[in-house]
Each structure stands twice: as C-alpha cells, then as structure tokens.
Structure 1
Amino acid sequence: MNARRHAALGEGANLALSTIAFFIVMTSYYVIRPVRDQLVGAAGSSSLPMFYLLVFVVMLVLMPVFGWLVSRFPRRQVLTCSYIFFAGCLVAFMPAFAAQDRIGAATLGTFFFVWVSVFILFVTSLFWSLMADVYRSAQARLVFPFIAFGGMAGALTGPLITAALVARIGVPPLLLVSASGLLIAMALLLAVSSNAAGNDASEGAPIGGSIFDGLKAVLSRPFLRNMALLMLLSDGVATVAYALMADYTKAHYVDTAARTAFYARLDLAINLLGAVLQLTLTPLILRGAGALWAMVVPSLVNFALLVALAVYGPIDIAAFGGVISLITLVQIGTRGLAYGMTKPASDALYTRIPRDDRYKGKNVVETTVWRLGDLLVTSGITALRGLGASVATLGLICAGLAGIATIVARNAATSPDLLPEDEKR
C-alpha cells in the first residue's frame, strides 16, 4: 500500500512539474513570437519562401546532429545541452536588436525568423519526446491534455507580456525574459527525467543506433509515414493561412509596434481557443472516443472553415462585438484546433511506438518534414499568386488538403504498427 501511494505521489509530482515546465517553455516562445511575426508582416508573404528555404536547410544540417546526440548521450545531457544552447542564442541576439538600425530590419529579420522557427520545433519536440518516455499510453490519454493546457496557458501569458512591455522596454529585454524562462523549464524537466529514471533507469540511457535512424523510421514505419504525410497536409493549410495573414497585416498595419501588438492579440485569441478545448472537449474525446476522433475532428472543422473562405473570400464579418476578417477567423480556428486537440492526440499516439522512434522519428516529422512543408507550400503560394490565384482559390485548394488530411489522420490513429496501450515499451 505504501509503495503504491509513493508511486502515485511520484506520478502526481511529475505531472505538476511537466505542466509547469511546458507552461514556461511556451511562455518563453510566445514572448518572442510576435517579434518574429511582425517582421514577416513587414515583408509580406513574398518573403516566406526564402525564409523557409533557409529554415529547411538548417533543419537538414541539424537533423543528423540531433540523431547523433540522442544515440550517444543520456536524455539528461541532450536536454541540458539543447536548452542551454537555445537560451544562449537568445542572449546573443540582444545586442543585434539593440543595433537593428545599423544592421537593417530585413537582415536581422531573416536571421531571427530562421532561428526562432528552429528553436521552437526542437525545444517542443524534445519536450514531448521526454513526455512520451515518462508516461505510458493509458496515462498519456489522461494527462497529456492537462500538460498541453499548461502550454496553452503559457501561450496566453507570453503575448500578454509582450503586448504590455514591448512599447516600454523594447525588444532586447524581452529576449532575456525568454532565455531565463527556458533555463527554468530545463531545471524542471531534469527533475522529471530524474524521477522517471529512478523508476526505470534504462529509460534515461542513450538510445544508440545510427544518426539517420529517424529518417529510416519515417520511411519504413506505417505510423510515422502517416504522421509525416499528415504533417505536410496540415502544414499546407496552416502555412497558407499564415501567408494570407501576413499580407493582411502588411496592408492594414504599417507601424512596427502596431503589427507586434496585433500579432500578440491574434496569438491570444488562438491560444484561448486551444485552452478551452484542452479543458473541455479534448479530454472528453480522448477518454471516450479515443485518439482517433481527436485526430479527425480538427481536419473536418478546417475543411468547413476553408470552404467558407473559398465561397466568401476575404470578407469582414461581425464577430465578438466588432468586425473581424474571415482570414483572421480561419487562422484562429486552424491553429487553435491544432494546439488544442490534434497535438495532445498525436502525442498520446507517439507513446505507442518504440523509444528510439519517439526521439528520432518524431523529431524528423516535427522538424525537418514540417519545414519541408513550409518551403513547398510558400513556394506554391508564390507561384499561384503569380498566375493570378485569388484568396478564394487558395481556400478551395486548402479545403481539398483538409479533406485528404481527415483520411490520413484516421489511418495514423489506426496504424497496424502501434503497440497496444498496455504493452511495456
């Protein structure tokens, strides 16, 4: 009885630490995300293909490096090195932003966009790989929505901090706030890792194998292949919405502070939707219907939103006591559902694959494949715009992608190579 009670207390402590850590990770990211996005808003969507090409190239370079790290070093060392590296980079950007007038907004914006895009993918992918290492599948369906809610709470807090402070203290101090939060989150995650390793020391050991095992797993395992395809399709929808949003802000907000504040409010609305979903609908679906429906429902809603965009175009509609662009509603809906439902469901599924695939294969899908999708989609948007494609046409194309994504999401959730929920991994 005492051993069972002790185990329950340990699980409760890990859940609390994990939730707080993810809250701080996402707060750190969303403090600087509006800074990145306002630079995109200043340049417009035409700059995105070059930005994403650079991000994809960096991902290709870092993918074997990450594979080598997890193959050779325990997870504590991988976590520590990764988080300290990214926190140090944030501090290194501070003098660059202080000298922005001399460097040039375009040059600094390119480097910062690439770095932030790489930063968030690796930091969150490593976080959720650790979570999939710590929790079993049955536990994951119960606790992942709450951990994800901690992240959504951080995603709400970050934009509020930025909107409140950017006009008073400027950008450089915000980077220090973000770096400090990342180091605090690292300390909490190291505690979680230590607790889990105390229960099963093998889980904290190096994984071994080749640095390219992640890519091999994505090509060979049905579940990871479906997740990679779903990532490309979902990214197609999200990136088109992001590009349309960039053009909208470029046309309506000419001032840097105004664009930053707008993107902070946009992130706030998106994350409020995600938080509400994680507290209400997502846990009910995961516990009742399972991960399958939590994967499929967002694609169905995306399909409906994009059909509306294809039919009505970029109209302004009355909502929330004011007037809001339909493009803005599409952005809120697609991203809010991705964070509030798809992410907890997919991460619960990742607990049902072998440990080496959770770290290596999952990282390939959520970094390199994601940014490949960004590059392909933004290049496609530029080509279609050159041919005279309207917003309605882009909406129709994305509605088709969302329809295909519904089928792929179902296939991923029912993949034959997923381990049973109660099987020891």
Structure 2
Amino acid sequence: MSSSPQVAASERSTAVLSALAFFFVLTSYYIVRPVRDQLSGAVGSSQLPLFYGATFVAMLLLTPVFGAMVARFPRKRLLGWSYCFFIACLIAFVPAFLAQARIGARLLGVVFFVWVSVFNLFVVSLFWSFMADIFDSVQARSTFPLIALGGMAGAVFGPMVTSVLVGLLGVAPLLVVSAAMLGGALLVLLRLSSHDAAGRAKQAEEAIGGSLWAGVRELWSRPFLRYMAILMVLGDGIGTLAYALVADYAKAHFHTAASRTAFYAHMDLAVNMLGALLQISLTRWLLTRWGAAWGLVLPALVNVALLVMVVFAGHGAVTLFGFTVPLLAMVMVVTRGYAYGMTKPAVDALYTRVPRETRYKGKNFVETAVWRFGDLVVTSGVSALGKLGMGVAGMALIGAGISGVATWVAQRAGHSPDLLPEGRPAPPARPAASRAS
C-alpha cells in the first residue's frame, strides 16, 4: 500500500530534522575528539592500554545504570537528561584543560578518555537508538544514509572549527563551543521525540521497561547481537591498531597541545570527507539495491586490501592533497571513513529489525563495553607484540587475517535468523507487570 501524501511529508520532515540533529551531535563530538586525541598523542601508545582499560571498566559499571534509565524513563526525558548532563560536563572540564600543564596529560587523559566514551554511550549511540525507534526497516535503508550524511557534514565542520579556533582561542574554550552545538541537537531531538516518521506518537512517552541487564543477557541469547559483538571487536581492531601507531607518530613530531589537536583535527577532517563522499556516491545505492549486509561486507574487504598493502610497504609515507602522511595514517583515514560512511548506516538499518529493548540496551552494550573491550585487547596486543620484536608488517599480516574473518562474520550478521522481516515493525514491549525486573 502506498503512503498517503501526509505520511510522506511527515517522513521527509522527520528525516530532515533528524539529519540536522545529527549534524549538531557530530559537530559537538568532533570538536571534543581532537581535544581527547591530543592527550593520547602527548603520552604515546604505551599508555593507551591504561586509557582503554579504565574506559572498559567504566562501561561495565555504567551498563546497568544506562539499562535502568532506559527501562524506567520515556525517551523524551531520557534524551533531555542525558544531553543536559553532558552539556554541564563540557563546561566543567574547561578549568581542567586550562590547567593541563599542571595536571599532566596522563592523568587528564585517563579521565577525559573515559568521559568521551561515556559521551558516546549517552549521546551518539542513544541518537541512533532513537532513530531506529522512529523509522521502520524499509524507511531506514533509504533514510539512514541521508541522516548519516547530515552527521558527516557535522563531522567535517567540527574538525574545521577546531583547526581554526584552536590557534586563536586555545584548547579549553573549544569545550564551550562543543556544549553549544550539543544544546542545538537537544532542541531538535525534543521536537522529534513526540512523533515517529509516520506521525505516530503512541510510543513517544512509553518507557521500554525490562531488565537493566537486558543488554548483557541478550548478547548471549540473540544471534544477531553475537555477530555484531564479534564484528565490533574484529572490525574496530584494525582502526585501533592504526590509532596506536599514529599516537607514537604524533608524540614524536608534535610537541604542544595545540599542534597535536590541529593534527588530529586534520585527520578527522580527512576521515569524514571520505565518509561524506561514500554517503553521496555509494552507500545509499548499495543499501537500497543490495541490502544492509553488503554495507558490512564491503568495508571488511577494503580493510583486507589496505593491510596487505601495509605488509609490503611497512612504515612508508603517502601524499594526500599535498600533505605527506604515514601509510598507517592513511589506513586509519580509509578504515574509519568506510566505518562511518558505510558500516554505521548499514548496522543501524539492521537494528530497526530487532525489538525496542534490543535497540537501546543490547545495541548500546555492544557499541560501548564490547567496543572498548576490543580496544583494550588490541592495544595490549600491540604493546606485547612490539616487546617481542614484531614489526608493523607482521602486525598488518595478522590484521589482514582478522579482516578476512570479519568479512565472513559481516555476511552472517546481515542475514541473522532472528532479524525481523523487512518492513515489519518490532513487537511492542511486554506489559510492565510481566517484565523481568
């Protein structure tokens, strides 16, 4: 049955507002991200296991907290409280960054690294859970790439703002700019929170309910979540390997917080320009014509090709847009560009085909605790292999094998037997009296 003109207009309006909200969200995040990364660049890869270990512990502790909030509060209140909390935190961090030289990059790095990961849980990941709640699976395949493109515009704009302002204002005032952008996102999301893409308001004020540990439990009981967890560890490991080695490069070549922040902002700009190009030229066509599974498989194949290239070229350098950068930095740019420009919209389109509780709790557990566990394993492995004398080529060869496995897992995830059929809405949550507490 074709949509009525009123429903179609409502869908277009919701998609435009969603893209605008995601623009503000990622502008805020990509102003904060180079500020975080300059701290890892100040200490080098040797301290990254500490950063990621602390983050992993924090994610495990916060999983039941997030689960309890999702279970008890309707999405409008959850969005409002979460975003307001992080706006306040951004302002509170300003004095700490003004005193970075006295506090030390290691201590401030651990605290801020953990906080940015919590930011990802309650801001970025919650945004996509919300999107999976207001669009069905058919709408998602055509709409999510457009929403992600709005985010990519913010992801390009954020590093540009950082590159321009860090030299004029310094690092600390950037947090105030980030807070302002997050406030803009909150205003748009509150406007969206009362209606879905078809103008329905029924679920807007319903709490999801269920167990606060549902995200952990469903990881073992739901095949789709298991595939996504394995894919998160395997796929993100390649980017984390490049990130660790680029951190050593930044430590050796950039000696001030402002210069490191600018370097990482330029890296983020290259990543997000590639992601935006993919959104415009390939991703939406691939997802609508061939399905979301191919949006997972193709990036894994690209990773295999990149790492085979590193096996033969090692520490070589390449020239991109007139800038000479390490080959590993190029690997990080391409890997993350595909992750944000193709894998992410494909993953979020698949999450429209699972129950609401899985979208919020299971999805967020995979994208935070499991993600940071993978980071911890990879950075610890890089450190151990380096101490054993293994060079970049050897690590790249291992990474290529891992990416080959990730290709198979991606194909399985896109055709998991527990995914709902295309276009069928997720079943409603059980009545509160029958839910596990």
In 2, Cα distance between equivalents of 1:203 and 1:397: 46
Q: Which segment is superposed worse, 110-119 or 280-289?
A: 110-119
Conservation of the 8 A alpha-carbon contact between 1:23 and 1:150:
yes
Which residue is 2:277 aligned to? 276
In 1, Cα distance between equivalents of 2:424 and 2:123: 28
Q: Which segment is superposed worse, 218-227 or 168-177?
A: 168-177
**TM-score, with structure 1 as normaliser:** 0.97
In 1, Cα distance between equivalents of 2:173 and 2:320: 35
1:232-272 deviations in whole A, cap 9, x for unaligned? Answer: 10121111011011111112222332221111111111100
Which residue is 2:434 aligned to? none
Partner SS state of residue 353, structure 2: coil
Which residue is 1:141 aligned to? 141
Conservation of the 8 A alpha-carbon contact between 2:70 and 2:208:
yes
Matches within 5 A, 1:7-406: 7-196=7-196, 199-406=200-407
In 2, Cα distance between equivalents of 1:404 and 1:203: 40
Conservation of the 8 A alpha-carbon contact between 1:122 and 1:367:
no
In the superposition, relative to structure 1, how do residues 203 and 195 fare at CA in structure 2: closer, same or farther (>3 Å)? closer
Structure holding more helix per residue: 1
> How big is the shift at 1:187?
1.5
Conservation of the 8 A alpha-carbon contact between 1:133 and 1:203:
no
1:141-189 deviations in whole A, cap 9, x for unaligned? Answer: 0000010011111010011111101111112221111111112101211
Conservation of the 8 A alpha-carbon contact between 1:10 and 1:195:
no
Q: Report the residue type matching 1:407 in the other structure.
A: W
Partner SS state of residue 97, structure 2: helix
Note the residue ranges of structure 1 that are not aligned, 5 or more in a row.
Answer: none
In the superposition, relative to structure 1, how do residues 172 and 255 fare at CA in structure 2: closer, same or farther (>3 Å)? closer
In 2, Cα distance between equivalents of 1:346 and 1:352: 11
Q: Report the residue type matching 2:310 in the other structure.
A: L
In 1, Cα distance between equivalents of 2:248 and 2:282: 33
Count residues with an aligned counterpart: 424
Q: Which segment is superposed worse, 102-111 or 302-311?
A: 102-111
Note the residue ranges of structure 2 that are not aligned, 5 or more in a row.
Answer: 427-437
Q: Which segment is superposed worse, 322-331 or 185-194?
A: 322-331
In the superposition, relative to structure 1, how do residues 264 and 149 fare at CA in structure 2: closer, same or farther (>3 Å)? same
In 1, Cα distance between equivalents of 2:322 and 2:300: 28
Partner SS state of residue 325, structure 2: strand
In 2, Cα distance between equivalents of 1:397 and 1:79: 41
> How big is the shift at 1:203?
4.9
Partner SS state of residue 102, structure 2: helix
> How big is the shift at 1:361?
0.6
1:2-41 deviations in whole A, cap 9, x for unaligned? Answer: x922222221211111000000000001112111111111
> How big is the shift at 1:400?
0.9
After TM superposition, the runs of 4+ consecutive aligned structure 1 residues lying more than 6 A away are: none
In 1, Cα distance between equivalents of 2:23 and 2:92: 24
> How big is the shift at 1:103?
2.2
Q: Report the residue type matching 2:76 in the other structure.
A: R
Conservation of the 8 A alpha-carbon contact between 2:239 and 2:335:
yes
In 2, Cα distance between equivalents of 1:39 and 1:362: 28
**TM-score, with structure 2 as normaliser:** 0.94
In 2, Cα distance between equivalents of 1:221 and 1:138: 22
1:307-326 deviations in whole A, cap 9, x for unaligned? Answer: 11112101113443453321
In 2, Cα distance between equivalents of 1:209 and 1:296: 33
Partner SS state of residue 201, structure 1: coil
In the superposition, relative to structure 1, how do residues 94 and 401 fare at CA in structure 2: closer, same or farther (>3 Å)? same
In 2, Cα distance between equivalents of 1:331 and 1:239: 8
CA RMSD in angstroms comes to 1.5
Q: Report the residue type matching 1:73 in the other structure.
A: F
Conservation of the 8 A alpha-carbon contact between 2:299 and 2:343:
yes
1:62-90 deviations in whole A, cap 9, x for unaligned? Answer: 10001001111101111111111111111
Conservation of the 8 A alpha-carbon contact between 2:218 and 2:225:
yes
In 2, Cα distance between equivalents of 1:93 and 1:46: 25
Q: Report the residue type matching 1:416 in the other structure.
A: P
Conservation of the 8 A alpha-carbon contact between 1:317 and 1:324:
yes
Conservation of the 8 A alpha-carbon contact between 1:282 and 1:341:
yes
